Structure formats: C-alpha cells, structure tokens
Amino acid sequence: MDASMRRKVIVASTVGTTIEFYDFYVYATAAVAVFPILFFPANDDPTVGLLQSFATFGLAFIARPIGSLLFGHFGDRIGRKATLVGSLLTMGIATFLIAFIPPYAQVGIVAPALLALMRFCQGLGLGGEWSGAALLATETAQRGKRAWAAMWPQLGAPFGFLLANGFFLILVALTGYNKGDIEGAFMTWGWRIPFAMSAVLVIVGLVIRLKLEETPVFQQAVDSGKRVKAPVLEVFRTSKKPMIIGTFVMLSCYTLFYLVTTWVLSYGIASKELGKGLGIPYIDFLKLQLISIFAFIAGIPLAGQLADKRGRRRTLTVISFVMIAFGLSFRFFLDPQNATEASVLAFLTIGMFIMGMIFGPMSAVLPELFTTNVRYTGSGISYNVSSILGAAVAPFIATALAQQFGVQSVGWYLIVVSLITLVAVRIMKETRDYDLSEI
C-alpha cells in the first residue's frame, strides 16, 4: 500500500473512532449529571438514582461482546471496510435517537426502558468498531512501525472525549445550568443537543470510510481461499488462549479509564457536606477533565513509539507497575478533608497520561494475537469481554467502595486489577515481529 493510501487509512480510522467514542462518552457524561434526575428519580437518596444510571451505563458493555461476535463475523467474512460502515451507522443512529426520548415524568417506566435499549445498541456498534479500526491501521502499516500506525485510531478515544465533554461544557455555560436545577434550559432541552449532533458526525464518517480500499492482508487471505465460513466457531476452536490473554491484558486499561472519567466525575461533584464527594461545581469539574485529556493524547503516541522500539511486553510491564504506584495515591489526591481543585487536576492528569500509555499499544497488541481469518472476531471478543470485567462495573464498584470504605479503597481496587493485567502481560508472547499475513 502506498503512502497516500496509508494517510487515508489514518484519517478514516481516527475520524471513525472519534465519532464512535464521542457517541459513547456523551452518554457517559449525561449518565452522571442528567439521567439520574430525568430517567431514574430517587427522591430519598440521590445515590440510588446515580447507581441506577450507572447500571444502564454498564448495559452497553454487555452488548459490546455481542457486537464483536456480530460484526466480527462479517469483518472476517466480507471485509473490514463494509463492516466498519455498519458499526458506525449502528452507533450513530442509537445516539441520535436518545435525543428524543421523553423523561420519566412524562412516560414513566418507558423512558428508562428506551434509554436502556439505545444504550444496548450503542454497545453493539462500538463492539464492532474498535477492532475494525485497529485492523484497518495494523494491516496497512509499514514493517516495524505497526504500533505507531495502530495508535492513530486510539487517539479517537481522547478526541471523542474532548468533543463530548467540551460540548457539554459549552451548553452548561450558555444555559446557566446549576446543579439541582431541573426546570432550566439545560435539563429541559440543552442536554439533548450533543446526542442529536451525532447525525452530522456520522455522515462525515461515512463519506470518509466509503472511499477506502480493503486492507491488503485481508485481500490476500481472500485471494488464497483462507477465509472461514464461521469465524466465531473457528476462533474458539483455535484461539481460546489468545482470547483469554487479550481479555486480561486490557483489563486494567478499561478500569483505569472509567475511574478517572465517569466515577471521578460523580465523586467530584457529589455533596461534600453529606460526605459523598468533593462538592466541586459541575462546570468547574468539566474544565478540569478537559485540561487533563491532553495528557491522555500525549501518552498514546509515546507508547506507540516505545512499543515498536522496546517491544509490547516490556512496555506494558513497566506501565503496569506505574499504574500500581498510582493506585497507592488516591487518598493523597482525593481525600475530602484535604482535596482541592489543584489536587484533583493533578490526579486527573497523571491518570490520563498513564491511560494513554497503556491504551496506545493495545490496537497493535490485540490484533497481533490472532491470525488473519479470525483477527476481527478474536481481537473484538478480547477487547469487549474485557470491557464487561473492567469498564462496565468500575463506576458502580468504585462508588460503592468510596461510600463504604473511603476513597483510597478505590485505589486498592485499581491495584488488584493492575496486578491481574501484569500477570497476563508476562504470560503473553512478544508479538512485535509477528507476520500479520500468516494464517
């Protein structure tokens, strides 16, 4: 593949994952500030509504492995390009429809039911998106630069987060929203705009993706008659060990991200007087998150370079030890008695940088564990099963731990998960020099 086509692949994979993650994070942001009030009202204890909202938030992670099976089948059967178009449409349509769901006060239980259904569809779409974008980048990369090429779609995660939270920040400022105001413009209609805007982004993504060619690695498998009729059955028959290793290699990555985004947002804006959080105004906390996201962006390309030069195992091993050390620091940064906005910003920035470092190589590591004819399916299953074990339950577990045992218990939770990932990394074989065209 020539240089100009590689540049098109980089743009297409990065723009596509940015749109998908924007859709996903728009929901995550609303799950903290909007949905507990409008869709899960609990007058006696706001924590109950928050936990119910987090439960629906986690529903997408249940759907993601199903999406990886569905889209993985077509990705390994008919190709990467067509499947990526389908995943983008699935996510985009579901996100767009959330903008029009009436609140609980108008339609009762139908409101959270529709919200749960759309969240499930979001999970299906993202379940097929990530592995397809990762394969698009890795299967077209230059020799010796696969982790660097694969890190571009990884940038879609912080870019999407930046767009989602930035949009909410602008809306909160323009509508003059204050926490607890359920009659104002933001809670009435303003929060719906970021969801509706998904339609515009999806159209842009489709235009870009429809201009791509199929990856040469997949085309070679087609030309040599190496496609399998049932990729799901084949991956379980031939690649159970790589799927298990890949799942636990991703575990700490998922847990860390949803601790330093979704959970810490709910903890940061919760009432300090009631002993439930830090009492930072919602708009101020969004600003802190937006500043810290640039550390996430900085960590991804650095990790991509290190993974190509030093190898995947060595890079992930060092980062896992750094993550364990970070887990010991939660009390120092977030203790309600001593925490300030400056200490919270330091916590977010360090956490986001570590997140970039461990997330950056993953779009090379997981595809490299599998052969071409089951790569889409296998990498997608590992990535998305890990999302259940790491991301779906992380905000829920962290909220419960912080309420019962204090904020440092959340750090211990991260340490345990990081140790599990460290063991998986040490078991994993080095894949830097693996030939992706091998069947």
Tokens of 145: 């630069």
Top-confidence residue, 48 or 237:
237
- Is the pLDDT at 58 greater than 80? The verdict is no
Can you give the pLDDT at residue 1?
A: 65
Can you give the pLDDT at residue 367?
A: 92
Count the Cβ atoms, other than its own, within 10 Å of residue 323: 25
Count the Cβ atoms, other than its own, within 10 Å of residue 49: 19
Residue type present at position 183: E
Can you give the pLDDT at residue 23?
A: 82
- Beta carbons of 125 and 142 less than 8 angstroms apart: no
Tokens 């340490």: give the residue. Answer: 415
- Is the pLDDT at 353 greater than 80? The verdict is yes
Can you give the pLDDT at residue 397?
A: 92
279 three-state secondary structure: coil
What's the whole-number mean pLDDT along residues 309-332?
Answer: 96
- Is the pLDDT at 319 greater than 80? The verdict is yes
What's the whole-number mean pLDDT along residues 184-204?
Answer: 88
Can you give the pLDDT at residue 303?
A: 95
Phi/psi for 176 (5° steps) reads: 65, 35
Count the Cβ atoms, other than its own, within 10 Å of residue 310: 13
- Beta carbons of 280 and 400 less than 8 angstroms apart: no
> What is d(CA 423, CA 62) in angstroms, rounded to the nearest whole number?
25
Tokens of 318: 């060092």
Q: Which CATH superfamily is domain 3-427 in?
A: MFS general substrate transporter like domains (1.20.1250.20)
Tokens of 60: 């997408």
For 230-244, how does the pLDDT look when each residue is reduced to its tens digit (9 = 90+)? 888 999 999 999 999
Cα atoms found within 13 Å of the Cα of residue 110, Cβ hemisphere only: 8
What's the whole-number mean pLDDT along residues 271-294?
Answer: 85
Can you give the pLDDT at residue 308?
A: 94
Tokens of 304: 């991509």
> What is d(CA 110, CA 4) in angstroms, rounded to the nearest whole number?
50
- Is the pLDDT at 96 greater than 60? The verdict is yes
- Beta carbons of 167 and 25 less than 8 angstroms apart: no
Top-confidence residue, 309 or 84:
309
Can you give the pLDDT at residue 275?
A: 65
Domain boundaries, the chain: 3-427
- Is the pLDDT at 214 greater than 80? The verdict is no
Can you give the pLDDT at residue 237?
A: 92
> What is d(CA 424, CA 411) in angstroms, rounded to the nearest whole number?
20
- Report residue 47's pLDDT band, with 50, 70 and 90 as the boundaries: low
- Is the pLDDT at 332 greater than 90? The verdict is yes
Treating both helix axes as pointing N-terminal to C-terminal, what angle do 375-387 and 46-77 enclose, rounded to 10 degrees? 170
Can you give the pLDDT at residue 43?
A: 56
pTM equals 0.84
Can you give the pLDDT at residue 16?
A: 81
What's the whole-number mean pLDDT along residues 97-112?
Answer: 89
Q: Measuring CA to CA, how many Å separate 408 from each of 189, 253, 319, 374, 420?
A: 37, 19, 21, 41, 19
**Helix ranges, 250-371 (H):** 251-258, 264-269, 282-310, 312-327, 330-334, 341-359, 362-368
- Beta carbons of 198 and 22 less than 8 angstroms apart: yes
CA angle at 187 for the pair 184 and 191, rounded to the nearest 5°? 130
Can you give the pLDDT at residue 219?
A: 77
Report residue 263 CA to chain centroid gap: 14
- Report residue 183's pLDDT band, with 50, 70 and 90 as the boundaries: confident
Least reliable range by pLDDT among 65-69, 174-178, 254-258, 426-430 = 174-178
- Report residue 36's pLDDT band, with 50, 70 and 90 as the boundaries: confident
> What is d(CA 243, CA 352) in angstroms, rounded to the nearest whole number?
26
Least reliable range by pLDDT among 33-37, 73-77, 160-164, 230-234 = 33-37
Tokens of 340: 């300030």
> What is d(CA 368, CA 430) in angstroms, rounded to the nearest whole number?
9
Nearest to 31 by CA among 177, 159, 199, 164: 164
> What is d(CA 189, CA 318) in angstroms, rounded to the nearest whole number?
46
